[in-house]
């Protein structure tokens, strides 16, 4: 660090404190970080060094002396805040290998007894603290500010991996166990696909999605989010364990989800070898990891080493640097979605990143473009959020070409030319010409025909052809199509037409919740449609609902309520519902169809992986019809892994390790009594 005077140091320290507190709030409270972990850690390291050099400016409220807080001001009425029995601290971390050896040397100087390390994957989730009394789950708290956390027990009990009741004979009368709530990639992809379908802002990464889900106001919504849990630290009075790994082995026997990837290391060299092995292997995991945690294994030495104000002295975290690529920005396209939202997409010179070639990356909205100060021809840094979604994280200004132009965000719809509008409370611009904008019309048909909606045999090309012929303009037009019209399409034969008409006929039996989703009402995704269908029971009851009635439903806010009201207040919306009803679509919940077939799977949790003779959605429906619960990942509380063709190898390995029965489709059908 360069020489700096006291005045400059004081100014820089004050600036860094404000910046780090702002980024802590973005990360922990809003679940919308604007910088990467690596950039945050660089700012924190700079503040730590300045406070070391100028201790007169170090204060007790500095971010270097307390953990980031997920307690949101003004939200006390939503979740009760409860004091932690033992503080929940954060880990010190490093990106430098020599600092791992410094960590080892500090331990050697502080203790005289021999010691080993526990090496563990650092799951990228949100911290949780569970208390069990007499083998039953008593309470679940978030990290909060380290001294108190939000009581999220009502939500946590809906995560299948977390048992309410433990089993075993050696369970302490009361103890705490801490860990991470996380979202596997599969569940993350599914959630973001649903948000994209509703044209909501996607979650940036699985960590943000997990943290946001944990604070949902509707506990039942938790069941649909596919969250998982891993636990890694046992606390209590007079626990009968000598080592950290011994305590985790006992927790696993009791039915608690602990990591299958933890290993004992006899030296820091073995711990470093563990890090090196996982730097590559982590990219094959079905969940996000952002580092490796190294802990002194012996519990008496942990107590001897103690804590700083913010971190334990007996543990540290090695952070993986995000894989990043630098590539030129060639151009920006502006895509119009089915609800009119305009999304800027960067076209990049192809670059290899995390095993795939990246050519395009979403810029999300105009605000994000302005924040990046992006110009055509810039060299931009690209990362994969959660190793999945390509995102532009910055611009290399030193490589900016002379005279590089800013991309012009359109003021008119790129498809129909209508002036764009922007709601005050939304970051996106959108085209208001819902009824005549061709790309919106075709997008609504593609959405309506989708597998999770009406499941009609009509993809992009078919919708394009039908629209260009003038055969369809509004959704009910599909049900007026004739065999002769279909055969007139290029490449269509009688068999193709018959298959299409058969899928149209079958769609008349699609349940109401999917019909509601298929309508494409702005901000109504798959899960929201299910919730509304359950609550109101029919399209007529929903259409008659007042704004106050809508807002009384958990997780329905002003934006969603106004969107529903606007749809049913519009003549096109009412006419669409009227004509679809006349076409025979289901406009109310069929109580008979929802009757449970049996309780064979009551209390059982099933994970489905692979391909089957029926769709995965149909297989999940069978599980629920026989009293079971579906979840996305294998854990200690999983009852069965239902494995079809090409089942995930990671799920199979974990099921074998945990002793969870693996059923074929035939065995599953025998279990539920299905021929």
Alpha helices in 254-341 (DSSP H): 268-281, 299-305
CA angle (368, 373, 379) in 5-degree steps: 105
- Exposed, middle or buried by CB within 10 Å (0-12, 13-18, 19+), for 313? middle
Is 384 known to be catalytic? no
Element (H, E) at 181: strand 174-182
Return phi, psi of residue 412, to 5°.
-125, 155
Instruction: Tell me the C-alpha distance between 139 and 477, whole Å.
Output: 54
Return phi, psi of residue 567, to 5°.
-65, -50
Which residues have CB under 8 Å from 479's CB, separation 6+?
504, 579, 580, 583, 584
Q: Please, are residues 640 and 673 in contact by the beta-carbon 8 Å criterion? A: no
Q: Please, are residues 230 and 634 in contact by the beta-carbon 8 Å criterion? A: no
Q: Please, are residues 608 and 614 in contact by the beta-carbon 8 Å criterion? A: no
Instruction: Tell me the C-alpha distance between 430 and 568, whole Å.
Output: 20
Q: Which of helix, strand or coil describes residue 165?
A: strand
Q: Which of helix, strand or coil describes residue 160?
A: coil
Q: CA gyration radius for the chain?
A: 27
Q: Which of helix, strand or coil describes residue 72?
A: coil
Element (H, E) at 121: strand 117-123
Q: How many beta carbons lie within 10 A of that of residue 579, not counting itself? A: 16
Catalytic pick among 17, 122, 366, 654: 122
Q: How many residues does the chain have?
A: 675
CA dihedral angle for residue 511, residue 197, residue 31, residue 532, rounded to 10 degrees: -30
Return phi, psi of residue 102, to 5°.
-65, -40
Nearest Cα neighbor of 285 from 661, 660, 651, 657 is: 651
Report the interhelical angle of 185-197 vs 526-536 (nearest 10°). Answer: 70
What amino acid positions are annotated as catalytic residues? 122
């Amino acid at each position: 660090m360069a020489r700096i005077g006291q005045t400059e140091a004081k100014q820089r320290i004050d600036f860094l404190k404000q910046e780090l507190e702002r980024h802590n709030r973005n990360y922990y409270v809003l679940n919308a970080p604007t910088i990467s972990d690596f950039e945050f850690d660089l700012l924190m390291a700079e503040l730590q060094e300045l406070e070391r050099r100028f201790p007169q400016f170090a204060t007790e409220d500095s971010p270097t002396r307390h953990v980031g807080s997920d307690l949101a001001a003004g939200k006390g009425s939503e979740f009760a805040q409860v004091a932690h029995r033992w503080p929940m601290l954060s880990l010190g971390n490093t990106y430098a290998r020599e600092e791992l050896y410094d960590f080892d040397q500090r331990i050697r100087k502080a203790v005289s007894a021999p010691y080993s390390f526990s090496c563990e994957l650092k799951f990228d989730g949100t911290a949780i603290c569970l208390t069990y009394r007499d083998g039953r789950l008593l309470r679940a708290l978030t990290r909060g500010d380290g001294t108190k956390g939000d009581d999220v027990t009502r939500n946590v009990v809906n995560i299948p991996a977390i048992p309410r009741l433990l089993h075993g004979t050696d369970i302490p009368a009361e103890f705490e166990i801490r860990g991470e709530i996380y979202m596997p990639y599969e569940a993350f992809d599914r959630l973001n696909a649903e948000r994209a379908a509703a044209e909501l802002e996607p979650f940036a990464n699985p960590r943000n999605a997990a943290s946001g889900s944990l604070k949902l106001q509707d506990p039942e919504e938790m069941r649909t989010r596919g969250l998982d849990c891993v636990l890694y630290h046992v606390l209590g009075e007079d626990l009968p364990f000598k080592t950290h790994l011994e305590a985790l082995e006992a927790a696993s026997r009791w039915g608690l989800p602990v990591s299958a990837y933890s290993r004992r290391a006899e030296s820091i060299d073995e711990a470093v070898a563990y890090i090196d092995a996982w730097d590559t292997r982590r990219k094959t995991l079905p969940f996000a990891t952002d580092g490796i945690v190294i802990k002194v294994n012996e519990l008496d030495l942990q107590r001897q080493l103690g804590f700083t104000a913010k971190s334990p002295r007996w543990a540290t975290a090695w952070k993986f640097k995000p894989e990043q690529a630098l590539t030129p920005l060639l151009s920006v396209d502006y895509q119009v979605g089915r609800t009119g939202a305009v999304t800027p997409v960067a076209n990049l010179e192809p670059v290899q990143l995390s095993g795939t070639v990246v050519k395009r990356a979403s810029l999300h909205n105009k605000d994000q473009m302005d924040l990046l100060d992006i110009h055509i021809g810039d060299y931009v840094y690209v990362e994969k959020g959660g190793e999945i979604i390509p995102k532009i994280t910055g611009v290399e200004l030193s490589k900016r070409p002379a005279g590089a132009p800013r991309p012009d965000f359109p003021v008119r719809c790129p498809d129909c030319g209508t002036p764009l509008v922007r709601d005050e409370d939304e970051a996106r611009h959108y085209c208001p010409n819902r009824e005549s904008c061709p790309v919106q019309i075709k997008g609504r048909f593609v959405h309506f025909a989708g597998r999770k909606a009406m499941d009609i045999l009509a993809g992009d090309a078919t919708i394009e052809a039908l629209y260009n012929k003038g055969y369809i303009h509004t959704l009910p037009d599909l049900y007026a199509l004739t065999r002769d019209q279909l055969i007139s399409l290029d490449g269509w034969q009688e068999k193709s037409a018959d298959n299409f008409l058969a899928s149209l006929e079958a769609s008349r039996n699609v349940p109401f919740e999917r019909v509601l989703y298929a309508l494409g009402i702005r901000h109504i995704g798959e899960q929201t449609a299910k919730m509304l269908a359950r609550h109101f029971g029919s399209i007529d009851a929903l259409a008659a609902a007042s704004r106050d009635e809508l807002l009384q439903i958990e997780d329905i806010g002003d934006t969603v309520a106004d969107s529903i009201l606007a749809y049913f207040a519009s003549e096109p919306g009412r006419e669409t519902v009227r004509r679809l009803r006349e076409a025979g679509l289901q406009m109310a919940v069929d109580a008979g169809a929802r009757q449970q077939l049996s309780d064979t799977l009551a209390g059982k949790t099933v994970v489905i992986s692979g391909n089957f003779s029926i769709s995965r959605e149909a297989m999940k429906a069978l599980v629920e019809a026989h009293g079971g619960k579906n979840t996305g990942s294998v854990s200690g509380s999983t009852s069965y892994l239902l494995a079809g063709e090409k089942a995930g190898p990671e799920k199979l390995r974990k099921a074998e390790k945990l002793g969870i029965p693996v059923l074929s489709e035939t065995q599953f059908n025998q279990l539920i009594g299905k021929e």
